[in-house]
Chain A
Amino acid sequence: MAGIDHAPPPFFKRGPAPLALLTFYIAVSLAIFVLDLRFKSLELLRQSIALVIDPVQRVAQTPGSLVDYAASYLQGLRALQLENGELKHNQLTTAPNLQRLAQLEVENERLRKLLAVKEREKANGQVTQILYTARDPFSRKVIVDKGQQAGIVAGQPAIDEAGVVGQVTRVFPFSAEITLITDKDQVVPVQVVRSGQRSVVFGLGNGQLELRYMPANADIQIGDVLVTSGLDGIYLAGFPVAKVVNIERDSAYSFARIFCVPIAGVENFGEVMVLDPRKALPPAPPESSGRPGSSDKPSLRKKKKTAGKEH
């Protein structure tokens, strides 16, 4: 009976059983999925992998950009002349406003000083080139060519020549990821230009935005322009965000469904400007029970919280 209770000699090294390996890898995958999604604690791992992949991805994008370059080169004199004429015309039409802008700004500043109102923050930023859109089909993000090396931090807003494009959500050493305002549940605090009403606009994920939590009888019309309200400490006030295109009022619900389209060329390639982060807002006043009359306050605070979530 000798030898039966001995393990067979290790002729073939086989490692752990496949099922054990599968269980291990599935557990690790699910663990990093939850860690990345809920706790955002794997940014260092992501950055280090991105450092290796980033140059490869840029090289892989070159054929496409070469084709684009060739196309624009071959576009011809005629198209360029047309565009040039159009731009000159546009410049002339905006000239009356622009020429007085400097004077208006000075005047505004002086008046604000007279009124002892805090000065308006100036918008500064750096121009970045969109390298490519992120391939993840479940979200709407683009990658731009400046990152930590250029001093970009997560949370900075990005605009183009027409309005707000999105917000920097991840920063890599040489690139940064901008989540577009049309991404699902991306939030921008806005103000209706016509009525001055404040609200928050949410991305829907299909290229549209929705103005949520507006009462069914709210003063909103098709064609209303929404600009950033500046209440969040992220976006400066006054940048155009979206235009209302469709309103569904159903008396069964207490809120109207208001759909908007972005004003900026959110889904286009090109250049965007990443604005510098805003100065920190003064700390919120402590919760006081002595002012029950201010009905605007709670909703305000809620907006701040939702807007800061992406930060």
Chain B
Amino acid sequence: MQPTFSSSRILLPVRPWFIFFSLITAALLNFLPTAHWPGMPDWIALVLCFWSVREFRKVGMGWGFALGLLMDVADGAVLGQHCFAYVILAYTAASLSRRILWFPLVQQALQIMPLLLAAQVLQALMRLAVGADFPGWGYFVGPMIATLLWIPATFILLLPQYRPVEQDPNRPI
């Protein structure tokens, strides 16, 4: 696979343990006390969205559901709230992946923004429908920041898959 479909650079296949590791790291980042800061992105949504776009055969709705359950318990939210949002996020990201990967990174980020925003809006709608209080517009800033983070996240998460640019076929092992 290439970094984008228009790129001529071939990537190594992804290692399953790295996907697992990155999702767990995202969960840890969500557990940090910084999650209370205004405009903090939902790291799990970002990483899940990334893997759903790139490796939808390995990471999909099942992972979204499990991580959603984890976040619901960790946040003290109603069970099913994050599950619902993450499952829909994983599905839409996977179904759009063939289109998204044709674009350069900045335009990819623009296409990702509505998905991440939708995940947040869905959660807000679910809770508002059952009588919770409006959390303020700051709640919807997180996905915007996450959109900006799409570019560094792509670099970091693809790092183990890059081959060295200078390759010597006659190199002795």
Contacts and interface: CB of A to CB of B under 8 A. Distances in A.
B84 A53 contact: no
A137 B78 contact: no
Contacts of B94: 18
Q: In terms of DSSP, what is the predominant structure of the interface of chain A?
A: helix
A56 B28 contact: yes
B76 interface: yes
B31 interface: yes
Contacts of B95: 18
Interface stretch (B15-23, B61-69, B109-117, B161-169): B61-69
B79 A25 contact: no
Interface in A239-288: none
Contact of B32 (A35, A37, A63, A205): A63
Interface residues of A, number: 44
> Which of A18, A60, A64, A143 has the most chain B CB within a 10 Å cutoff?
A60
Nearest to B128: A138
Contacts of B78: 33, 36-37
Contacts of B61: 18, 21-22, 25
Contacts, number: 114
A205 B79 contact: no
Interface stretch (B6-14, B99-107, B129-137, B144-152): B129-137
B83 A22 contact: no
Interface stretch (A41-49, A104-112, A146-154): A41-49
B87 A139 contact: no
B87 A22 contact: yes
Contact of A37 (B64, B74, B130, B133): B130
Contacts of A134: 75-76
A42 B36 contact: no
Contacts of B126: 33
B48 interface: no
A60 B73 contact: no
B5 to A, nearest CB: 21
B87 A135 contact: no
A34 B130 CA distance: 10
A50 interface: yes
Contacts of B131: 184-185
Nearest to A204: B133
> Which of B28, B77, B135 has the most chain A CB within a 10 Å cutoff?
B77
Contacts of A204: 133
B88 interface: yes
Contacts of B143: none
Contact of A29 (B65, B74, B75): B65
A132 interface: yes
A30 B80 contact: yes
A29 B77 contact: no
Contact of A138 (B31, B68, B77): B77
A-B pairs, 5 with minimum CB distance: A33-B80, A205-B133, A134-B76, A60-B31, A64-B33
Given A25-B64, A32-B80, A139-B133, 12 more contacts: A18-B94, A28-B83, A31-B80, A33-B126, A37-B78, A50-B73, A57-B74, A60-B31, A60-B32, A63-B33, A134-B75, A135-B76
